[in-house]
Structure 1
Amino acid sequence: MKIGLYFGSFNPIHVGHLIIANHIAEFSDLDQVWFVVTPHNPFKKKSTLLDNHQRYEMVYRATKDYPHLEPSNIEFNLPQPNYTVNTLIHLEEKYPTHTFSLIMGEDNLKGFHKWKNHEVILERHHIYVYPRVSQDKVETPFLNHKKVHCIDAPVMQISSTFIRKAIAAGKNVKPMFPEHVWEYLDEMNFYK
């Protein structure tokens, strides 16, 4: 099975994340997209970052009606600080019949050369890149690499940072969430 790994804090997950992931699951050769919820880095103080399990719960609720989208808490039990290359090795050992690819925005591809063991990642895994809103055209040699696939996914301008600030300001952002996620957020009074 071909799995695309969509890493993020998902703080909170919103319809933009789902639209991109679902588009990639439906219009690429991947069988599933796994939302890999990245754990809170214990060395960084982030008061706006919800607990790992609360963010995983939101991802679970967001994806439960989509058979090709799955939540993953695989990084929660890996030693911190963790690097993507370690997660990939762990997944390959745990799921030897699956092949894993990365999903990232084109802005992340620009800094990919700074990732730990990025050469090993590119040697062993494909990368699916979705467009991001940017003033500057992304220039990187990775765009022409045979294992980098640019996906013509919709460009999303919704950000989790914007959503958190809007909720704190008392704005109604309900349309930016799947219904199950909004109910949980509202019930738990997150970001207020």
Structure 2
Amino acid sequence: MKNVGLYFGTFNPIHIGHLIIANHLVENSDLDEIWMVVTPHNPFKKKNSLLENHHRLEMVYLATQEYDKIQPSDIEFKLPQPNYTINTLAHISEKYPDYTFSLIMGEDNLKSFHKWKNYEAILEDYHVYVYPRVSEGIVENQFSNHEKIHRIEAPIVQISSTMIRKAIKEGKNCKPLLSYQVWKYIDEMNFYKK
């Protein structure tokens, strides 16, 4: 049975930090693959800086095409909005019965995990892999010693999509923070410049 880690995000845009974490996890844990699940644009929250779903999915595709164990996923595009992780997990587990799925999240998300819809059900059926965030440090809470939560020693990368969008808008060179294909796509499409 294949063990797949689900790494959710808007990936607006996907950057080398995302790839470093995903690659580290798939190479240094019992995960066989990682699916980068692109979170859809919420129609109720108009954000000028959030690119359309298909553009963000295309960038994830471009960024991951050279990684055998990392792939893009548009699974949430087909689900009712708003997306709740528990619903996505139920849907994906039903669609791929021969796979085992686990969640991947940053330390900051673990802090608010108790506020997620049906978080208890998530922990009943799924493992959670948590990577560190420099600003957070180790979060001591009700999940500190939970058997389904695995803290991963991973490189701490202080790059954010917000920082990249801001740099592009200001005309700065942020090519080193993106895979070449993603940078090229953003440049050709004139994204984030306004």
CA RMSD, 1 decimal: 0.8
Partner of residue 165, structure 1: 166
What TM-score, normalized by structure 2, do the two folds share? 0.97
Q: CA deviation at 1:82?
A: 1.4
Q: CA deviation at 1:141?
A: 1.6
Alpha-carbon distance between aligned partners in 1 of 2:177 and 2:154, rounded to the nearest angstrom: 18
Partner of residue 39, structure 1: 40
Partner SS, residue 184 of structure 2: helix
Q: CA deviation at 1:136?
A: 5.7
- The residue type paired with residue 116 of structure 2 is W
Partner of residue 71, structure 1: 72
Partner SS, residue 21 of structure 2: helix
- The residue type paired with residue 101 of structure 1 is S
| Identical-residue share of aligned pairs (%) | 69
Partner of residue 177, structure 1: 178
User: Which aligned pairs between 1:30-179 and structure 2 lie closer than 5 A?
Assistant: 30-134=31-135, 137-179=138-180
Alpha-carbon distance between aligned partners in 1 of 2:136 and 2:95, rounded to the nearest angstrom: 40
What TM-score, normalized by structure 1, do the two folds share? 0.98
- The residue type paired with residue 49 of structure 1 is L
Aligned residues: 192
- The residue type paired with residue 52 of structure 1 is N
Alpha-carbon distance between aligned partners in 2 of 1:175 and 1:82, rounded to the nearest angstrom: 32
Structure 2 unpaired stretches of 5+: none
Alpha-carbon distance between aligned partners in 1 of 2:48 and 2:39, rounded to the nearest angstrom: 16
Q: CA deviation at 1:90?
A: 0.5
Moved over 6 A (4+): none
Partner SS, residue 164 of structure 1: helix
Partner SS, residue 143 of structure 1: coil
